Structure formats: C-alpha cells, structure tokens
Chains A and B, each alone.
Chain A
Amino acid sequence: MAKAGRKSSSSWKKSLKRKAAAEEIQEAAGAGDGATESGVQPPKAAAFPPGFSISEIKNKQRRHLMFTRWKQQQRKEKLAAKKKLKKEREALGDKAPPKPVPKTIDNQRVYDETTVDPNDEEVAYDESTDEFASYFNKQTSPKILITTSDRPHGRTVRLCEQLSTVIPNSHVYYRRGLALKKIIPQCIAREFTDLIVINEDRKTPNGLILSHLPNGPTAHFKMSSVRLRKEIKRRGKDPTEHIPEIILNNFTTRLGHSIGRMFASLFPHNPQFIGRQVATFHNQRDYIFFRFHRYIFRSEKKVGIQELGPRFTIKLRSLQKGTFDSKYGEYEWVHKPREMDTSRRKFHL
C-alpha cells in the first residue's frame, strides 16, 4: 500500500508541483498576467520578479520541487545544445573546427620550476656524480635484499616472494625483529646494493622503504592497491627468470629524476629481450603505478600484453639523504600535506 501510495504520490506530486507553481506565479506575479494562466496548464516561462532565487523559498518541499524542475530544465537545455553542436559539425563536415581539448588536472598542471631540461649541464653533472653513478657507469650490478616489518602476515609474505621473482638477483629474508640500522652494515659487508622493506599494517602491506646501500638515499613510500598474482584477472603464466626491461614514465622534475634513477638501479643493465617481460613504473599525479607485463608483437604496430606479477601503487612520503635513519638523518624532501597539497594542480614528482 505504501508503494502504490508512493507511486501515485509522485504523479500527484507533479500535478501538485504544477499547481504549486501556478500558485507561486499567482502569488508572485500579483496583479500581472494572472488572467490567462489560471487554467489547466500554466506555461513553463513563469513571471518571477527579478532577483528571485529558488533558495529564498522557505518551504523545503516546494523549494525541492522547484529545484528539481529547474535541474530538469537545465538538463534539457544542455542536451539540446549538444545536439545542435553535433548537427552543426556534421553539416560542416571537413571544415568543422577541431574539437576543443577538455581540461584535465594533468594538462592544467602548474609548471614546476624544477622540471629537468635535458640540455642542462649542471643537472647532468649532478646526476652523473650522485650516489647512483656507480650503477649507471656499470661498475656495480644490483643485489637486492627484500624484507618486511616484523612478524608479517600471509599477504605480505606472498608479495615479497612475488617481488623477488620480478626483481632479478633479489633475496627475501625473514625480519626476525632485527633493527634496520644493524641490518644495513651487514648488507653492505655482503655487497648488497639495495634494501627493500615492506611495511605491514593490519595484515596488509602499506609501506615501502627503499634504501640504496653503500650510502645512498632512502625513499619512504606509502603503498596501496596491492594485488597479488592470483587476484589479477586474465593474467599470464608465472614470469620466467629473464631480466625484464624497465619503463619509467613521467618522472619530469628533479625529485622525479632521483626517484626514477632509484627504481632503475634495482634492475640489471642488460634486459633480456627474449623474455619479453617489462616492469613499468608509471607516475601520474605523484602516484607511481607498478605493473609487470609480458608483451608480444603481433605485427609492427600491434602489441598484445599479459599482466603477470604483482601490482601496486606507491606514493613518495620522504627522501632521506643517507641510509635509513629516520630520526637523525637529513631529508632531501619531505611530504608536508598542509603546505604542499594546497593546490589540486601542483605535483612534485
């Protein structure tokens, strides 16, 4: 009974709305042109006094009705305008002006003054002599240690195992409650070049600490959207032992360059193209998306890809200059939300 009542009440409401509108018109217009409109169907174009806005109606129900009516009207007008534009474009055919590019946050991005110019000599010198110089000069090849925070749960353990299949020459060790500051000298003695610590909270991995070893910078990321292999739909078979290629997308600023080089130094120099595997670090709006695919060229221009390995999203929280020392280390960049996140169009990586 209630349902039927509601249905009829909605149509009743519409007629009530028109009546209410009529009443409004008659009230508001006063002595104006009420003569012809007191009939059955009042015209849509009501004669309201100028400066009247819907928000001035004190009655909530009537106000809501007026608003819904206005909204429907707007929608109709918008649709009509779109149709008109489409007709005009078809009429013009080839001579139609090109479609305007829609504004997105990415193309409205505030120009960052730290964007690296490829011809800049000072930045080139800085990069060629920084902590990753020994990797990029092919003097060292990476050896990674992957570990977690203490007492990891299943998801984190499986993520570590899958990461070690993605990153060649990596070893997973159980944390055993050891302090990172004690682990680091031991790693350096055993010639590890990088340390990855996956932090876990409430049984899911939520943070990543990446420390380049001899004395290199330490980056702290927060991790989200972790998908293990079995959770990825339409995935390919497990990755092989071939060294993957790397794709680093959209690391334009100086800070982005440093982080990009950090990721690049995780993988050996010589990608084996036979394996057709590629690891992608795609930066968009300061979020870095990690994906691992296998590709196959079906023709010169068509590629098929299969997503393999784990997938996660990370965001940089801080970049610290030495090896891991969060209390006494010097920070190169710290994310400060209240100072840096004030504009929706400003990004740092």
Chain B
Amino acid sequence: MAAAAARWNHVWVGTETGILKGVNLQRKQAANFTAGGQPRREEAVSALCWGTGGETQILVGCADRTVKHFSTEDGIFQGQRHCPGGEGIFRGLAQTDGTLITCVDSGILRVWRDNDKNTSSDPLLELRVGPGVCRMRQDPAHPHVVATGGKENALKMWDLQGSEEPVFRAKNVRNDWLDLRVPIWDQDIQFLPGSQKLVTCTGYHQVRVYDPASPQRRPVLETTYGEYPLTAMTLTPGGNSVIVGNTHGQLAEIDLRQGRLLGCLKGLAGSVRGLQCHPSKPLLASCGLDRVLRIHRIQNPRGLEHKVYLKSQLNCLLLSGRDNWEDEPQEPQEPNKVPLEDTETDELWASLEAAAKRKLSDLEQTQGALQTRRRKKKRPGSTSP
C-alpha cells in the first residue's frame, strides 16, 4: 500500500536529518523514507535529482558523500554508492545515459559509471572546477553540458565530452562607481530553454543573464532584487521569467526580457533552500529553513495553494512534472475488484494487509494541516462502498 502510494507523490523533499519525504498534495499526506530506518544527521540530503526512466528513480546525495538510489515505484532505497574525492557536500548531482555526475564544494567534478552493483569504481572523468562551488547544474537540453559557479568562482560552462577546458568562462562585470572590484558569488544557475543562455542569481542580490553565443563574456542583463543573498532560483513555465528566493524568505518573479520585477510571493518565514516550478502548470514549490513546504500559484491569481509542515529543515526538493495531478487511475479500481473476488482472495488481501502494517511502522504522518490517512481497510467479508 505504501509502495503504491509513493508513486503518486507530487513533491519529494530532502531534509537536514537525512529523511527523504514524499508529499502527496491530493491526499494531503507526507511520508518519510530513510535508508537505514532511522534518521541520521550525517546523511543530510544536499542534492536531489531524477534518475533514469522518467520519474521513477531519485538520486539522493547525502552529506557523507554517498549517492543513494530511491525507487518511487517501490518506495524503498535500492542501493547506494560512495563518491569520494574532494571535500565538502554535494553541490550538484546529475544523470546522463548511464553515468552519474557529481560536484562537491571544493570543486572536484567527477563523472562516475552508473552500474547497478554498489561498487565504487574510479571516476570516468575528473575536472577541477575551482574552490567554493555553490551550484552545478546540468543542461536539460544537452545532458553532457554542465555549468558551475560559486563564491569567488565565476560561472563556467563545461562540455563533458569535449576538452578539459570550460566551453564558456564568464568575466566579472566592470568595477563599480567607486572603482572597486565587484565580488562574485553565484548561488544558483539555470539554463534558459530554446537558447544557450544561462541565468545566475548571486549572493549579492543580483540576477544575471549570460549568453555564450554572444562575443561578450560579461553578463548580457543584470538586475538586483532585495538586500539579502539570493539562494535559489527556478524558471517559470513561460520561459520569460525566473523566480528567486533569498535568505529572508522573500520570493520574487523577475522578467528576463526587461529585467523588471513582476511580483512577489508571500508566506515563507525562513531562508529559501529549494525552488521548483512545474513545467506546464503555474505552480511553484518552495522549501526552506522554516520547515514548511509551500506550493504557490504563480498567476491568475497569485497566491498560496498548499502548505505542509514537515518537522525538519528542508534542503532541496523535486517537483513531479507530470500532468495528471489529480488523476490516480489505479486507486479507485481496487475497491471495485474486491466484491468480485472470493474468500480465497480475501485471504490474499489479509496477508497483504499484514505486509502493509509492517511497512506502516516505518512511515510517519504529519499532523496539523494534513488529514489522517483515509485508507480503506479491506477486511475479509466487508462490502465496499
């Protein structure tokens, strides 16, 4: 039962205590998944990305330098691999045709062969990106292209199939009006679809657009928002604007064509750690240090849709990009099947129920805003509504 339910979760959130949480917004439930059964702070989730095969697998990067494979179909952790090299936590995790790309804080970017066995073989490729990396992002259109940026580490675009030098290396902007060097702190990077452009948001509250196709290495567009470091960024479904979040919990939508502020979103009380927009619907998922996952609607009307309290500080999230948000075709068919089957299959249900109860002991449910589970207990001989 838990396994079937895990498939339909809309948002997957990684926490500082090492728990992966799956949230189902339709049924208003959140479930905890841990690799070892108990939360461990050493396994704090620092990066999440989808694995192979659509959205059936999640790669979880933990603070102890292991990358765990989690299957959403079965709701269990399937394996893990240790990715040593460099120091610090994972700043970027990506997957492309059988290889796993990891980047750590100290700037070691490694490409690993992704085999099913849990062996930790040597990396296929290793690049030194520069110290103080804050983000590594993979281009969704070209999976072998990644971009990295960090504190005093300018934006660099790398082609993993090409040479060891970066394809594009950004140049710092001109000295400011006091003739002082402008410091660099790229906190988040996104690739704009449809062109080669990149957007970054910085810790000095700037949003910059870079175009590798143009001759200038300096940013093509630069705007500022707020007074606090911008920590997370995501692209909106239209492709013309980005939504950024800062350390004070302020979310803003910024138009990239003009560099204008379109509007803000209210609600967060703590630093924004993860932001993701749905690819087609106007929904934005945000999580942060105030331990709450929020889903906002970005347009007509702009506002809060769901708010889920998740007890631990949230580090990163993955929003499911599927379109059938509400439809869960498998679930309603089960109660229809029960009266058609006989007592021998009722025994089958009873044994399945026992298995579900065992799994339930691992899962926890949240209180407050979420309702209790409305699981239909299939007792033998009962009639379904």
Contact B270 A113 (CB under 8 A): no
Q: In the complex, what distance in Å separates the CA atom of A333 from the CA atom of B249?
A: 8
Contacts of B312 in A (CB 8 A): 122, 126
The stretch among B79-87, B100-108, B235-243, B362-370 that forms the contact with chain A is B362-370
Given contacts A120-B311, A321-B289, contact A331 B266 (CB under 8 A): no
In residues 287-315 of chain B, which contact A (Cβ within 8 Å)? Answer: 289-291, 309, 311-313
0/1 string, B48-75, CB within 8 A of A gives 1: 0000000000000000000000000000
Residue B41 CB within 8 A of the other chain: yes
Most A CB contacts (10 A, CB to CB) among B203, B231, B267, B291 go to: B291
The stretch among A31-39, A223-231, A268-276, A322-330 that forms the contact with chain B is A322-330
Contacts of A123 in B (CB 8 A): 311
Q: From B203, B269, B270, B309, give the contact of A340 (CB < 8 A).
A: B269
Contact A331 B248 (CB under 8 A): yes
Residue A300 CB within 8 A of the other chain: no
Please name the residue on chain A nearest to B271 by beta carbon: A330
Contacts of A254 in B (CB 8 A): 291, 311
Q: In the complex, what distance in Å separates the CA atom of A120 from the CA atom of B310?
A: 12
Residue A334 CB within 8 A of the other chain: yes
Please name the residue on chain A nearest to B227 by beta carbon: A327
Contacts of A321 in B (CB 8 A): 271, 289
Contact B41 A329 (CB under 8 A): no
Contacts of B309 in A (CB 8 A): 113-114
Q: From A115, A129, A339, give the contact of B17 (CB < 8 A).
A: A129
Tally of B interface residues using CB under 8 Å: 30
Q: From B19, B32, B227, B270, give the contact of A331 (CB < 8 A).
A: B270
Contact B19 A122 (CB under 8 A): yes
Contact A339 B39 (CB under 8 A): no
Q: Is chain B's interface secondary structure helix, strand, loop, or mixed overall?
A: loop
Given contacts A122-B19, A331-B248, A334-B269, contact A113 B290 (CB under 8 A): no
Residue B92 CB within 8 A of the other chain: no
Contact B291 A114 (CB under 8 A): yes
Residue A297 CB within 8 A of the other chain: no
Residue A125 CB within 8 A of the other chain: yes
Q: In the complex, what distance in Å separates the CA atom of A123 from the CA atom of B249?
A: 22
0/1 string, A276-314, CB within 8 A of B gives 1: 000000000000000000000000000000000000000
Q: In the complex, what distance in Å separates the CA atom of A339 from the CA atom of B309?
A: 18
Given contacts A330-B289, A336-B269, contact A122 B32 (CB under 8 A): yes
Given contacts A122-B39, A125-B17, A328-B229, contact A117 B367 (CB under 8 A): yes
Residue A121 CB within 8 A of the other chain: yes
Contact B368 A114 (CB under 8 A): yes
Contacts of B367 in A (CB 8 A): 113, 117
Residue A332 CB within 8 A of the other chain: yes
- Distance (Å) between the CB of B269 and the closest chain A CB? 5
- Distance (Å) between the CB of A209 and the closest chain B CB? 17
Residue B77 CB within 8 A of the other chain: no
Residue B95 CB within 8 A of the other chain: no
Contacts of B289 in A (CB 8 A): 321, 330-333
Residue B228 CB within 8 A of the other chain: yes
In residues 118-136 of chain A, which contact B (Cβ within 8 Å)? Answer: 120-123, 125-126, 129
Q: From B271, B364, B368, B369, give the contact of A332 (CB < 8 A).
A: B271
Contact B368 A113 (CB under 8 A): yes
- Distance (Å) between the CB of B374 and the closest chain A CB? 19
Q: In the complex, what distance in Å separates the CA atom of A117 from the CA atom of B365?
A: 13
Residue B200 CB within 8 A of the other chain: no
0/1 string, A139-178, CB within 8 A of B gives 1: 0000000000000000000000000000000000000000
Contact A327 B228 (CB under 8 A): yes
* 15 more CB-based (< 8 A) A-B contacts, given A331-B248, A333-B289: A112-B368, A114-B291, A114-B368, A117-B367, A120-B311, A254-B311, A330-B231, A330-B247, A330-B289, A331-B247, A331-B289, A332-B271, A332-B290, A334-B270, A339-B266
The 6 residue pairs across chains A and B that have the minimum distance between CB atoms: A113-B368, A330-B271, A332-B289, A113-B309, A129-B41, A330-B247
Residues of chain B at the chain A interface (Cβ within 8 Å): 17, 19, 32, 38-39, 41, 203, 227-229, 231, 247-249, 266-267, 269-271, 289-291, 309, 311-313, 364, 367-369
Residues of chain A at the chain B interface (Cβ within 8 Å): 111-115, 117, 120-123, 125-126, 129, 254, 321, 327-334, 336, 339-340
